[in-house]
């Protein structure tokens, strides 16, 4: 039984913590990497949810936890109304068939010793699908056709293909079992731009044709904007903002989203000259020891003296479908609060009443808004 208006995937307060082991036998747990630390999201049937954020923020771990390739520490993953954690053995296997993954590096995920025919027939055989030799052969031809590879590809091995063609093989393999959900982890980031567009278009075309639901994980915001209906922005294991794609890009509310978007270069010199950049301080803090309060407060140009450092913001709905996790989102949206300038940031006192909290990777110097470059009239 499927209920068409129920989200296909629902993730509730998902946590994945990896133990950090030390000692001669790596037998002492000295802490935990909080790779995913309480994420909730849901994806409607036939839509694409894009997950963005800097490397190390937990995107891949979240995708893997959905597929139960890694066991969640806490929380719930519900696929088509079923709690995935409750499944085991045959039922888990059947559920996995309906959720497939496309990886960044198809070479790493395709067995180099198998030719394309064997790569594509393997999943069919394993699940007893395709209906005999002739059926499987027909299905494979259909798959090749769907991803735009010639029949001659069947006898060739992964290394004989270009990156884009390998990604097509990866996609063919992922859709071989007619899944409902496709999790694509950085599906185009290893590809050249001209080829990226081919694969993006292919993913969109296949989604339309097969009515697939996508979770697309990528660090490239432009790709994600292009492909997604809803976008979630992750920072240090948590979702900081979520909104319909166009809304998020037109009016980002969370300071991190704003900084992220202002940092993405646009291939247009006119736009590049006019834009203001919000430069962030330093690198991502360690997910093993995330900052107190708002996790972004060590780098946030809008950080306030109160609340930011000692009170964790929750994800709130500011407009229909637009969720933000920032204490000051309204004030930032309305322009009441301004990002601090680099000078102010340098001389700002510690925000917390308990005294300054030492932050490993905090630079200090890039904090705040970039000064606009003065323009000179052309003689």
Ligand X SMILES: Nc1ncnc2c1ncn2[C@@H]1O[C@H](COP(=O)(O)OP(=O)(O)O)[C@@H](O)[C@H]1O
Which of 289, 272, 279 minimizes the C-alpha distance to 256?
A: 279
Specify the stretch interacting with ligand X by CB under 6 A; choose among 50-58, 88-96, 130-138, 243-251: 50-58
Q: What order do you get walking across the sheet with 28-43 strand by strand? A: 28-43, 9-22, 74-79, 82-83
Q: Which residues contact 167 (CB under 8 A, 6 or more apart)?
A: 102, 106, 187, 188, 191, 199
258 φ/ψ sector (left φ>0, alpha ψ -120 to 50, else beta): alpha
Please choose which of ligand SF4, ligand X, other proteins, none residue 59 contacts, taking the beta carbon within 5 to 8 angstroms, the exact cut-off set by kind. Answer: ligand X
The interface mask with ligand X, positions 259-298, x = CB under 6 A, is: ----------------------------x-----------
- Looking at the Cβ atoms of 120 and 236, the one nearer to ligand X is 236
Q: Which of 70, 263, 318, 337 binds other proteins (CB under 8 A)?
A: 263
- Looking at the Cβ atoms of 60 and 121, the one nearer to ligand X is 60
Please choose which of ligand SF4, ligand X, other proteins, none residue 255 contacts, taking the beta carbon within 5 to 8 angstroms, the exact cut-off set by kind. Answer: ligand SF4
291/287 Cα distance (integer angstroms): 9
Specify the stretch interacting with ligand X by CB under 6 A; choose among 53-61, 157-165, 166-174, 312-320: 53-61
- Looking at the Cβ atoms of 219 and 357, the one nearer to ligand X is 219
119/160 Cα distance (integer angstroms): 14
Structure tokens given for 117: 């025919």
Sites for Mg ion among residues 159-198 (CB under 5 A)? none
Which of 241, 175, 248 minimizes the C-alpha distance to 212?
A: 175
Please choose which of Mg ion, ligand SF4, ligand X, none residue 313 contacts, taking the beta carbon within 5 to 8 angstroms, the exact cut-off set by kind. Answer: ligand SF4
104/111 Cα distance (integer angstroms): 15
- Residues of this chain that bind ligand X (CB under 6 A): 18, 33, 35, 53, 55-61, 287
- Residues of this chain that bind Mg ion (CB under 5 A): 60
């Amino acid at each position: 039984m499927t209920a068409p208006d129920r989200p296909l995937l629902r993730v509730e307060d998902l946590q994945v913590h990896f133990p950090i082991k030390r000692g001669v036998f790596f037998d002492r747990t000295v802490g935990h990497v909080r790779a995913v630390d309480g994420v909730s999201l849901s994806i409607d049937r036939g839509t694409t949810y894009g997950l963005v954020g800097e490397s190390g923020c937990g995107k891949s771990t979240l995708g893997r936890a959905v597929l139960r390739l890694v066991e969640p520490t806490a929380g719930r993953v519900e696929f088509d109304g079923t709690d995935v954690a409750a499944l085991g053995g045959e039922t888990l296997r059947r559920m996995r068939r309906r959720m497939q993954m496309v990886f960044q590096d198809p070479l790493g995920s395709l067995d180099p010793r198998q030719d394309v025919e064997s790569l594509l027939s393997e999943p069919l055989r394993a699940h007893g699908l395709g209906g005999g030799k002739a059926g499987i052969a027909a299905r494979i031809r259909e798959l090749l056709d769907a991803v735009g590879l010639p029949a001659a590809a069947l006898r060739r091995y992964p290394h004989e293909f270009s990156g884009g063609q390998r990604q097509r093989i990866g996609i063919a393999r992922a859709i071989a079992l007619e899944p409902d959900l496709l999790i694509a982890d950085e599906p185009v980031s290893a590809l050249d731009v001209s080829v990226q567009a081919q694969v993006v278009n292919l993913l969109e075309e296949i989604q339309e044709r097969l009515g697939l639901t996508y979770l697309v994980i990528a660090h490239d915001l432009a790709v994600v904007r292009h492909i997604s209906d809803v976008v979630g922005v992750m920072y240090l294991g948590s979702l900081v903002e979520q909104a319909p794609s166009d809304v998020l890009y037109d009016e980002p509310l969370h300071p991190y989203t704003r900084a992220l978007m202002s940092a993405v270069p646009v291939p247009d010199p006119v736009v590049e000259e006019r834009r203001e950049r919000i430069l962030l301080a330093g690198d991502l803090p360690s997910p093993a020891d995330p900052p107190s309060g708002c996790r972004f407060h060590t780098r946030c140009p809008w950080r306030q003296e109160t609340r930011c450092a000692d009170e964790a913001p929750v994800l709130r709905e500011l407009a229909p479908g637009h969720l933000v996790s920032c204490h000051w989102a309204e004030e930032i949206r309305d322009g009441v609060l301004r990002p601090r300038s680099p000078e102010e940031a340098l001389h700002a006192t510690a925000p917390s009443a308990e005294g300054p909290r030492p932050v490993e990777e905090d630079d200090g110097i890039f904090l705040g808004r970039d000064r606009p470059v003065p323009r000179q009239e052309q003689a």
